[in-house]
Amino acid sequence: MNITVLGTGMVGQTVSKRLVELGHKVTMGTRNPDTTLSRTEPDRMTGITFSDWHKANPQVCLVTFSESVKGADLIINATSGFASLEVLELAGEAAMDGKVLLDISNPLDFSKGLPPSLFVCNTDSLGEQIQNRFPGLKVVKSLNTMNVYIQMNPGSLPGDHNVFVSGNDLEAKAMVKELLISIGWREQTIIDLGDITSARGTEMLLPIWVRLWSTLGDINFNFHIQRAK
């Protein structure tokens, strides 16, 4: 598939690299490619600059947001939650019309200090805000409830754990589920929660996720729904 990843941070990098490994043609969208490539400060999480990452992953094409969505079979929103709506505006509503958007972002608000709160929750969600602003997009919320290394390599965390899917369009969800399975998620670990309003539930997992990070001392964990057999 032609997959476009919006966002060039650690999440976008990890997602893009994995999708290249799986044989997809990956395009990364950014505000200004020259600016992104000329950044000299290393990423806080990876310790390397985007330019160095890009040299090591030359198959990934870096273009503007609006260029990146043209010809995409699937768009992945890997931007920070705060930036998501603005980035999608820059990508362009018309160019995205009818396409599938896999939204892996979270509405984390760090402006009031740590731990972060959510800037939208309870009676609304970022997934819904995106779907409502861009009704022509087929928004599927998924993968937003575990760290990106587990997202892209679920087998790296042994045992049973789940990934959730929310969205209004059944074909779009089927496409995303197929991608999840190709990434390594076993079919029985994928829980379809229903329409995009169920993104409220998965985005609202973030506050306990952040607490578990400090309690357990690392991010190498995921939610599993234990059910009676």
Residues β-bridged to residue 26: 3
| Closer residue to a copy of itself in complex, CB, 94/228 | 228
One DSSP character per residue, 52-85 reads HHHHH-TTSEEEEHHHHTTT-SEEEE-S-HHHHH
Query: Smallest distance, Å, CB 141 to a copy of itself?
Result: 12
Query: Smallest distance, Å, CB 205 to a copy of itself?
Result: 6
User: For residue 38, which amino acid is it?
Assistant: S
Query: Smallest distance, Å, CB 196 to a copy of itself?
Result: 12
| Closer residue to a copy of itself in complex, CB, 184/201 | 201
By CB under 8 A, name the binding residues for a copy of itself: 112, 117-118, 121-123, 157-161, 164, 191-194, 198, 200-202, 204-205, 207-212, 214-216, 218, 220-229
Query: In 3-state terms, what secondary structure has residue 154?
Result: helix
| Closer residue to a copy of itself in complex, CB, 59/156 | 156
Give dist(CA 22, CA 89) in Å, integer.
29
| Closer residue to a copy of itself in complex, CB, 43/124 | 124
Query: In 3-state terms, what secondary structure has residue 46?
Result: coil
Query: Smallest distance, Å, CB 192 to a copy of itself?
Result: 7
How far from 71 is each of 3, 99, 100, 184, CA to CA, in Å? 9, 10, 12, 26
